[in-house]
Amino acid sequence: MLEPIAHDAPSLSDTVFERIREAILTRKLLPGSRVVESTIAKQFSVSKTPVREAFLKLAQIGLIEQDARESRVVSASRKSIEDSFRVRIALEEEVMSSLAHLEDVELDSLLDLSQLSDEAHLRDDSIGRYHDARLFHLNLAQLTGNPFLSTAVANFYDLTWILRHRDSRHSEQSVGNAVQHKQIAHSLATGDIHLARTQMVDHLNQVLQAALDDMIEDIPRG
C-alpha cells in the first residue's frame, strides 16, 4: 500500500513520480506487477492526471513498460540489467568522445566532483555517494552541449542505478567508483580523451559485471 501525498507538494506530478520510483526501488511495487492509474491515484489521494504524467516519465526512463492494454513495472532479469547498461555505456562513450573542447574551469569542476565521491566514501555516506556519482556523470554529459544526449544519459543513469540496487546485492562498488572517477577526471585534465573514454567504458563494464554477479535469483515478482 502506498501512502497518500500532501496536496501542497511543490509539483504534484514530480512528487508522484518520485514516490512511484521509490516504490519500484524498494519493491513495494514488485517487478513485473501491473500498475493501474486509478489504483495509484486512489492510494496517493490525487487525481489520475499527475499519475498519468508520472507513468509517462517512468516509461521514458524504462521503469514502466506500457502497451495498449496495460502498464507493468519493469521485470527483474539479467537481460534488463545488461541491456540497460549496454545502452548507457554507448551513450557515455559518446559523451567522452565529445569532450575535447573542455576549458580549464570545467575540468576543475570535474576534479572537484571526483573528490566529493572520495570524501563521501570516507564518511561511509551511501546517499552522498549516489548523488555525487550522479553529478559526476551528468556534468560530463552536460558539458557536451548536447541536451538530447544529456537527457538520455540522465534517464539511463537512473534506470541502471535502480535496477542494480533493486535486483542485485552489494553492487555499490563505492571505493572503485571514487577512484575511477578521479582517474577519468585526471585524464581529461591532461587532454588524453582516448584514455578517459577507455577508463569510462571499463568503469561501467565493471559496475555491470558486479551487478550481474550479485543478481538476486529469488526476487518476488508481481
pLDDT of residue 177: 76
pLDDT of residue 41: 93
pLDDT of residue 148: 96
Q: What is the pLDDT of residues 33-61, one digit of tens each?
A: 999 999 999 999 999 999 999 999 999 99
pLDDT of residue 29: 92
pTM for the predicted model, two decimal places: 0.81
Separation CA 200–CA 192 (nearest Å): 12
99-111 as b/e: b if 16+ CB within 10 A: beebeeebbebbe
Domain ranges within the chain, ordered by starting residue? 12-73, 78-213
pLDDT of residue 216: 74
Regions of the chain with pLDDT less than 70: 1-10, 104-105, 107, 113-130, 170-176, 218-222
Q: What are phi and psi of 29, to 5 degrees?
A: -105, 110
- The CATH architecture one would assign to domain 12-73 is Orthogonal Bundle (1.10)
- The CATH architecture one would assign to domain 78-213 is Up-down Bundle (1.20)
